[in-house]
Amino acid sequence: MRALPHVLIIGVHLTGALGSAYGLSWALRRTHSLYDWPDARYYSVVVALIVSSLLGLIVAGRAAWRWRRGTASSAPGAPLRFAFCTAVVGAVGYLVFLQPFKGLYFLLYAGCVAGAHALLTLIGSHVVPGHALRKLDAVAFRTCLALFLIEMTLKIAASLLAIPLFAPGNLSVDEYMTRFRRRPGQLHLGFACDERGFNDVLRERGTGDKLVVAVGDSFTFGIVPRPLLYTEVAERATPGLQIYNMGAPAFGPAEYLALLKETSGELRPDAYLVCLFVGNDLDDARRVGNEYALIRSWFDRGSVMLSLIPSRLMKVQDAVPGGAGFGGWYEEGDAFRADPTEAELVARYAWLADPMTEPASMTEERFLLVERDRYTTVCRDPDPELFELLFEALTEMKRFAGSTPLLVVIIPDEFQVEDAVWSRVRTGPDDERALPQRKIAEWLRERDVPHLDLLPVLRAVPPLADGMRHLYHLRDTHWNRRGNDVAGRAVAEFVRTCIK
């Protein structure tokens, strides 16, 4: 047993060296987004990984040599504590500076952190006096251990408490659907969800009627009362058409696929309508295949509870009281009678008739933070791996649909539609506003998948008196009544051309 700590120390250093070498092997391929790196940055990382690999081997060899000679430290716990602290500090650094999570970037970063650990192991005792080093060791270890234990406690609580606040970003598809789908009969803005938990009522099909099953996220679930939703607008514009709305907040491509599989045999629709919101469906594609699930649970800001819970609480804090969206009138409704009329809705929410009077859902600072983050993810620094995961999900949907037509609607984010928002979030003068739409449309076109890009449709709407189109709730990121109406008429025409 006395040898175990020394074996662990050698194992830690060898693991670091192998991790650096593995990161180096990926860096040398220069795949994915490394193509766009300037040569200076790219070769700096390559050199750092080479040095890290060598340092790891040197430190491991030195530890083995000292152990064999009997000159190893009589307190082997210190190197293990230092390795633990390095891992925790490295995780914090990645969470602060290198988000969103990208598998390739993580491999490069982890290799460099391992090299830094090896370097500090070699020179630490020569740079910091012994007594100061012991004090630093004690303080750092206790702090890092506290962070680790708090995070573990929150993760355990999240696994036991099925509430959205504690829902980690690395939930399985089934867990996501359980946590975020509405309860049967639950009221949403005066209208009860059906027995499946969706914001719709499936009507009996008449002779010659066409049924389309629509899947999507909160855009499809609706942040307006049900009769004003774009799926309802499309139905009213097309006699004989029923669009069964299976949207749910926080869902993404992995959940869309699961929904199609869940209900297709029972419903046997004439077409599937997949409604992709580029603002977060690309990021939500991380759940497809659950790649890097264990690593992401500790290095993805959307999965680390110490980051996730405060972020969600801040959203509530930054919501404007009485606002038009999630932070305001999105309340499940004891003040409503069931199935209110349009007149009753407008009487309560005057901005349904006049978007110029909408109260905001978020503070301006919070809204711009959300939009800048989405702009970075889909336009400024899009991750090719996320497009690949999205296309993987779409491929599986197309395979599953078989002979049933698969239709795709591409929903833009507000920063793409409103020039004023675009000018405030854009940081690169040459960034392409419609980059995600172009990539998705090219992929769909190559596979003969009918699709509707709503970006040009929404941008064609004339601005109102203040220069804004007012298609989205004020500082909310979701369509208001006006946006749903424009989108619904476009979707109706699109569906009519695809299923006669």
Q: Please compute the mean of the pLDDT values over residues 7-31 and round it to a whole number.
A: 92
What is the value of pTM for the model shown? 0.75
In the predicted model, is pLDDT for residue 321 greater than 60? no
Confidence band, pLDDT 50/70/90 cuts, at residue 313: confident
| Residue 154 CB-density burial (10 A; 0-12 exposed, 13-18 middle, 19+ buried) | middle
In this prediction, residue 234 carries a pLDDT of 98
Spatial separation of the C-alpha atoms in residues 33 and 116, rounded to whole Å: 24
pLDDT (tens digit per residue) in 150-172: 999 998 888 787 666 776 666 66
Spatial separation of the C-alpha atoms in residues 202 and 44, rounded to whole Å: 59
Which amino acid is residue 217, in one-letter code?
A: D
Spatial separation of the C-alpha atoms in residues 272 and 145, rounded to whole Å: 50
Spatial separation of the C-alpha atoms in residues 94 and 99, rounded to whole Å: 7
Spatial separation of the C-alpha atoms in residues 378 and 360, rounded to whole Å: 25
Spatial separation of the C-alpha atoms in residues 418 and 451, rounded to whole Å: 22
Contact 274, 404 (CB under 8 A): no
Q: Please compute the mean of the pLDDT values over residues 77-106 and round it to a whole number.
A: 90
pLDDT (tens digit per residue) in 328-346: 444 444 445 567 888 888 8
DSSP label at residue 452: E
Which domains are delineated in the chain? 4-160 (no CATH), 166-498 (3.40.50.1110)
For residue 231, give the nearest of 415, 59, 489, 37 by alpha carbon: 489
For residue 486, give the nearest of 412, 432, 426 by alpha carbon: 412
Strands 451-453 and 210-216 come out as: unpaired
Angle at 323 between CA 320 and CA 327, to 5 degrees: 65
- CB count, 10 Å around CB of 184? 12
Least confident of 183-192, 311-320, 423-432, 438-447: 311-320
Candidate ranges 36-45, 49-58, 157-166; pick with highest mean pLDDT: 49-58
φ, ψ at 407 (rounded to 5°)? -110, 145
Spatial separation of the C-alpha atoms in residues 149 and 421, rounded to whole Å: 41
Name beta bridge partners: 443: none
Token reading at 486: 């424009």
- The answer, yes or no, to whether the previous bond of 100 is cis (omega within 30 of 0) is yes
In this prediction, residue 333 carries a pLDDT of 45
In this prediction, residue 308 carries a pLDDT of 84
Kindly give the residue spans of alpha helices, DSSP state H, lying in 354-480: 364-375, 384-401, 414-417, 419-425, 435-446, 454-459
Spatial separation of the C-alpha atoms in residues 176 and 171, rounded to whole Å: 6
Please indicate whether residue 123 or residue 275 has the higher confidence score (pLDDT).
275
Spatial separation of the C-alpha atoms in residues 285 and 169, rounded to whole Å: 11
**Residue 135 CB partners (closer than 8 Å, separation 6+):** none
Mapped onto helix, strand or coil, the DSSP state of residue 276 is strand
Token reading at 175: 């867990």
Which amino acid is residue 26, in one-letter code?
A: W
Mapped onto helix, strand or coil, the DSSP state of residue 241 is strand
Which amino acid is residue 150, in one-letter code?
A: I
Token reading at 343: 């007149």
Strands 191-192 and 187-188 come out as: antiparallel
Candidate ranges 62-76, 130-144, 445-459; pick with highest mean pLDDT: 445-459
φ, ψ at 71 (rounded to 5°)? -105, 10
Cα 388 to chain center, whole Å? 15
